[in-house]
Chains A and B, each alone.
Chain A
Amino acid sequence: MGKKAGEESRQLRKGRAAVAAQGGRAARWPVIAGVVIIVGLVVTIVFTVVRSATTDTTAHPAASGPVMPPSGAAAGAMLLGQADAPVKLEVYADYMCPYCGRFERANGAEIAGLVGDGTARLHLYPLAFLDDMSNGTRYSTRAANAAATVYDRAPDKLLPFNNLLYEHQPAEQSSGLSDNQIADLARQAGVPPPVVDAFDNATFEPWVAQSTQAAFAAGLEGTPTVKINGQVFEGDLYTVGPLTQAISAAAK
């Protein structure tokens, strides 16, 4: 121990002697430069924190009000397609759920095709149980309300809008898309401006909350969940093909 400690201080002394030999002045410049960089970084960090704390802090209080379903909706679902279609296709999804995004990317076009050609009647449940993942901005609820508003007043634009929402899906623990970004996507999908303006009324938020509760009370475990004629589809939801085949089989 004693010998080792001596060795250490010998090393230390050697180093100090080397610094002293340089006159100390050469060694001071890097320190000054370093301190300047450190101060610059601290200022930048504080600036960034303050800026991110002050932007996008629109209040998003939970909506309270009468439960009003969008017209055409039934039992918490938005119905699309011909009423006499042979297959009842139920999709439970939350716009914040990354796997719902993967599901939409794989099957969105296929589902639109099957609904369009009269094979399936889509029951789309816009759920909002992942509100806690958007840092207080309740992205799931805001997106679901926007979708319900589009369904209420421009139902033929729902699937394109739904697709765009998932294409631009925010990451978990981000603040989600802002209300303006959601409105931009709706306009891109061809939703008429008066309908887009109605997003802010949050008319369907109580309905979304109620149907979310009802879905989980009825035994739903997570999203995405897909049912074909009432049976949970157990196949691969994330590649193109298996779901389409199962729906086509159920249609025969």
Chain B
Amino acid sequence: MPSILARFRNLRHADAWIYGTMLFSACLSLLASFVLSIDAVRLAANPNVSLSCNLNAVVSCGTVAQSWQAQLFGFPNAFLGLIAEPVVITIAVASLAGVRFPRGFMFAAQVVYTLGVIFAYWLLYQAMVNIGALCPWCLLVTVSTTLVFATLTHVNIRDDNLYLPRPAQQAAARFIDADLDVIVMTIWLLVLALVIVTRYGTALFG
């Protein structure tokens, strides 16, 4: 039993697992961003359809895509995913192949991706509280962005890339080595699932 557990933990901290998870999650996020971008472009091409419920509207009348929050920077938010996720995919693939990026590079990636996660959760909050509509692809972006963030943070703490003060770095390394990050991430994703189920439960399962 302990040996299985130990092997499991070795696997978890290994490059193959971390970057593999990162690659998978970034691909999901890119796919969702791509679908949302196509929708946004189509919507922009048809201004007549955009403020009405069309006979062909299968899933929704596009109220989420119509909101001002969907174009916070003047262009569809999904474009940000198209820009950022290929970088993450490149990092993951290169790292799986044995490349090691400089400390400053990984630190910059962490900073930018953290901003991205904050933005993703702000959008989730807006969609749930102020817009009130369900957007399945947006949910996929939220979940996959969270996973990428978790793997990136994991690897950056493991490799000491975050320029943390020594005591903080040691505390973070201990935290990860005690597998507390797995517990935190599990709780995080379950809270997300609980919020979604509570808000959309009847729509999803009713």
With the chains together, A142 CA to B82 CA distance in Å? Answer: 42
Asked if B206 and A222 sit within 8 Å, CB to CB, the answer is no
Tell me the residues in window 28-74 of chain B with beta carbons closer than 8 Å to chain A beta carbons: 49, 51-55, 57-61, 63
Within 8 A of B (CB), among A173-230: 173-175, 216, 220-225
Which A residues are within 8 Å of any B CB, using their own CB?
A: 1, 4, 7-8, 11-12, 14-16, 18-19, 27, 30-31, 34-35, 37-38, 41-42, 44-45, 48-49, 51-53, 55-57, 94, 96-100, 129-130, 132-133, 135-137, 171-175, 216, 220-225, 237-238
**How far apart sit A58 and B60, CA to CA, in the bound complex (Å)?**
23
B203 within 8 A of A: yes
B interface majority secondary structure? helix
B105, CB-defined interface residue at 8 Å: no
Q: How far is the CA of A12 from the CA of B155 in the complex (A)?
A: 11
Supplied contacts A12-B177, A16-B177, A221-B54, 7 more A-B pairs, CB within 8 Å: A1-B98, A19-B174, A34-B187, A48-B194, A55-B206, A129-B53, A171-B132
Indicate if the CB atoms of A31 and B183 lie closer than 8 Å: yes
Q: Which residues on B sit within 8 Å (CB–CB) of A132?
A: 58
Q: Are A41 and B205 in contact (CB under 8 A)?
A: no
Query: Closest A-chain residue to B183, C-beta based?
Result: A34
Q: Which 10 A-B pairs have the closest CB atoms?
A: A52-B201, A34-B183, A15-B177, A222-B52, A97-B53, A41-B190, A171-B132, A53-B205, A173-B134, A15-B173
B164-186 interface mask toward A, CB cutoff 8 Å, 1 = contact, 0 = none? 00000010011011111001101
Query: Size range of the interface on B?
Result: 35 or more
Point out the residue from A1, A16, A30, A55 that lies within 8 Å of B180, measured CB to CB.
A30
Contacts of B206 in A (CB 8 A): 52-53, 55-57, 135-137, 175
Contact of A55 among B177, B183, B202 (CB under 8 A): B202
B186 to chain A: which residues have CB within 8 Å?
34, 38
- A49 CA to B198 CA, complexed, in Å: 8
What residue of chain A has the Cβ atom nearest to residue B201's Cβ?
A52
